[in-house]
Amino acid sequence: MFTLTNDQRKYFGLPPIPTGWRKEVLPGGPYRKKSTIYFDKETIRRQIVSDETEY
């Protein structure tokens, strides 16, 4: 799993991840891929699913 930096995100037209957001990595399972969740306090703001071939 890889994560784009905010500098890399702008080249793909993606909005940056605010610095105050907390990052949690959720393990994958037989029916879903590993994902990264970003929280703003207790609210999920973004979920990113990526692996070696897709983001």
Is 55 a member of any domain?
A: no
Query: β-pairing, 43-49 with 22-26?
Result: unpaired
Is 45 a member of any domain?
A: yes
Is 39 a member of any domain?
A: yes
Res 18: pLDDT: 95
Distances (CA, A) of 44 to 8, 23, 52, 53: 22, 10, 24, 25
CB 28 within 8 A of CB 37: no
Is 37 a member of any domain?
A: yes
Rounded to an integer, what is the distance from CA 17 to the centroid of its chain? 9
What CA–CA distance (Å, rounded) separates 46 from 39?
7
Number of domains in the chain: 1
> Which residues does the chain have with pLDDT short of 70?
1, 54-55
- What is the extent of the structural domain holding 38? 6-49
